[in-house]
Amino acid sequence: MRFHCTFGVNFWTFESFQPNTAAMANREARFNQTVLVDTTPMPDHIPKVEEIGATSAPLLSASYFIGDRCKAYNDDFMKCKDESNGRGEFDCLKEGRKVTRCAASVIKDINTHCLDQFKAHWECLENNNHQLWECRRPEVQLNSCVFDKLGLKKTLPGAPEGQVPVHLRPKQKYAQYPGPQW
């Protein structure tokens, strides 16, 4: 048996993004006990946008493709929020609408072209605590389908150079089936 001494150290940071927290508009964490549902719609002078109806697992499954197509819009939105000094909710509505529309377009395209692979992947994710390393087999099929039909490619931002990225390694050490996945 081979020993891989990588316990936990990079267990959770494999595919996580590293947000620049210093530059983001931070606010103190505070407990809240009650919520208020305000059913007043947005005022008319603000243009309407269709909200995204995908839930957590499909969003996670599509996230890298959304990131690939919408990188410019997302960066724009984050830059706007950084620069608006905590008033981002009011000042960045325009950028936010672009982000929403772009993400919705990606999800719509994946739904029309790669529905079966997409469904297989997000159902696997939903059944395995949303952990990407448990679902590499459906993920490879989804990635190749999306690359063929839509030209979007999954890349891990900030992955170390000159190594095979985790999602392309055939063996997934922490998965329930740690052997070759495909």
User: Which residue ranges make up the site for other proteins (CB under 8 A)?
Assistant: 1, 3-9, 11-12, 30-42, 50-59, 104-105, 107-108, 111, 118-119, 122-123, 126-130, 137, 173-181
- Closest to other proteins by CB, 11 vs 148, is 11
Write out the two tokens for 27.
């606010």
Q: Within 10 A of 37 (CB to CB), how many other CB atoms are there? A: 4
CB contact at 8 A, 142 and 120 = yes
- Using the minimum distance from each CB to other proteins, give the nearer residue, 5 or 164: 5
- Minimum CB–partner distance for residue 147 and other proteins (Å): 19
User: What's at 119, amino acid-wise?
Assistant: K
Name the CA dihedral angle for 41, 45, 49, 55, rounded to a multiple of 10 degrees. -30
Taking the complex as a whole, the smallest distance from the CB of residue 85 to other proteins amounts, in Å, to 20
Nearer Cβ to other proteins (161/176): 176
Please give the helix or strand (H or E) that residue 86 lies within, else none.
none
Q: What is the CA radius of gyration of the chain?
A: 19
Q: Choose among 159, 168, 160, 146: nearest CA to 68.
A: 146
- Measured from the CB of residue 54, what is the shortest distance to other proteins in angstroms? 5
**Cβ of residue 2: shortest distance to other proteins, in angstroms?**
8
- Would you say 84 or 131 has its CB closer to other proteins? 131
- For residue 80, the minimal CB distance to other proteins (Å) is 21
Between 83 and 89, whose beta carbon lies closer to other proteins?
89
Q: Which residues pair with 180 in a beta bridge?
A: 171
Please, what is the minimum distance in Å from the beta carbon of residue 25 to other proteins?
A: 17
Cα 110 to Cα 70: distance, rounded to the nearest angstrom:
14
Distance CA 77, CA 146 (A): 25
Closer of 129 and 162 to other proteins (Cβ): 129
